Amino acid sequence: MENIITETLYPIELHNIEKLHIINPSLNNDIAIVFDNFLRDGIMFNLIESIFKYAPGVKIYIADQSIYHPNTMILYNKLILKGHEVIFCGLDCGISVARNNAIKQVNEKYIFMCDCDNLFTRFTDLNILKNILEKNCNIGLVSLYEKEHNQINHYEINLERTGDLLIYNYISEHADCRNKEFFLCDYTMNMGLAKKELFDSVKYDEQMKLTEHLDFFMSIKYNTEWKVACATSVNIDNQDIILDNSSYNLFRARNKLFWKLYKTKWNLTKINNYDLETTQVTKPSIPKEYKTDSLDSTSTYMCIKFINSHSINFYLIDKCCLNFIKHKPLESTKLCIATDTLTNKNIIENYAKYLKLDIEVKIGNLKTKIVEINNTKIFVPCPVIQYLEKTFKQTWKELQNG
């Protein structure tokens, strides 16, 4: 695998490095920011720039598992000279190894972990998270909301194990607990502020180059006394950048292997009634209110009807299909489709380009059910149907009529 990629996927422009105002870590600061970088140097640069703007004085620890592009090395040298740290972990060591290596180097009392495709904004207030940890001795990690495509992703879950089944109990977007400063949960987005001492009790499993997220939160819940919380007034952005590179995607497409490791480790066969052996776990989200930047409904339905007319197997992914079901007319900021072959993927992408429609097409296969909206057949994955029925306490038939 190491020989497949010989250069970074998204390099940093040298003139951007020259313009970057690097801020020294404050001696009085007790928070560290930790993230890894794997071949997404330019995306990482955007994150770093946002940190210096919205969290000046916080020390950055970068765990690098990339190929070392000359421009990136210039940036790293500048950061190191200013007092930040870069830990060189080796190409494709995996996010677990990278994060563990960085955490070992941290001397600060609190560690904020995020991904390199996040962006700090004026709503990313680390002091609010820190105050929650200081006031609650039993909480080891406090997470925050993630904003993507101009809407908040709610992904706060309580976990329940029954034999070899793991059940996701989603905390409703409108639950009473969301009116408080924070609420407890078992599983959140893969970023948050943690007490350094949490990592005396739990570490990222270095077998898992991917899919480390759920394993880490399960380890907190079942192997420690620490609690996890989610703050309600803090959020961080996700960069709206789609990286389409076949070589890079080979690295990202190994989830199935690591889900098998996870399955064996925790003695599980199913999550929410679908099989860990045959499918990657999806992350369905709760429908949002109408957005002014929604896709053009006419073009969207034209695209779906075109797919129908060519008898192409497809289904809608996550938030996208929820918008189809719960909103009439369609209100979605992005159309995400999965189909079963590379040929079909290319056909859909080319037609979407003709319609000037923002669309993401992946290759996958899940059991689906059909819902007909505006005389258009929409294929919805069964795990999403199960989630909808549980969240809204309605049957599939009632949901379609609601």
Question: Which band of pLDDT confidence, cut at 50, 70 and 90, is reported for residue 321?
Answer: low
pLDDT in tens, 109-149: 999 999 999 999 999 999 999 999 999 999 999 999 998 76
Mean pLDDT of the residues in the chain: 81
Burial category of 84 from C-beta neighbours within 10 Å (exposed 0-12, middle 13-18, buried 19 and up): buried
Domain layout of the chain by residue ranges: 14-266, 297-401
> How far is the C-alpha of 161 from the C-alpha of 361, rounded, in Å?
33
pLDDT in tens, 230-278: 999 999 998 866 555 555 666 666 767 777 888 889 998 888 765 666 5
The share of the chain scoring above pLDDT 70, in percent, equals 76
pLDDT for 56: 95
Burial category of 98 from C-beta neighbours within 10 Å (exposed 0-12, middle 13-18, buried 19 and up): buried
pLDDT for 337: 78
Q: Give the pLDDT mean for 152-157.
A: 84
pLDDT at 289 over 80: no
pLDDT for 391: 62
pLDDT in tens, 330-344: 455 567 777 878 888
- Residue 364, Cα to own-chain centre: how many angstroms? 18
Question: Which band of pLDDT confidence, cut at 50, 70 and 90, is reported for residue 372?
Answer: low
14-266 maps to which CATH number?
A: 3.90.550.10
pTM over 0.85: no
> How far is the C-alpha of 50 from the C-alpha of 53, rounded, in Å?
5
pLDDT at 47 over 90: yes
pLDDT for 155: 83
pLDDT for 348: 83
DSSP letters, 28-58, are T--EEEEEEESS-HHHHHHHHHHHHHHSTT-
Mean pLDDT is highest, among 121-135, 178-192, 313-327, 335-349, for: 121-135
Q: Give the pLDDT mean for 58-79.
A: 93
Q: Give the residue with greater pLDDT, 14 vs 281.
A: 14
On whether the CB atoms of residues 205 and 215 are closer than 8 A, the answer is: yes
Mapped onto helix, strand or coil, the DSSP state of residue 130 is helix
Question: Which band of pLDDT confidence, cut at 50, 70 and 90, is reported for residue 73?
Answer: very high
Sign of CA dihedral 37, 40, 45, 51: negative
Question: Which band of pLDDT confidence, cut at 50, 70 and 90, is reported for residue 297?
Answer: low
The token pair that represents 208 in the structure block: 């898992």
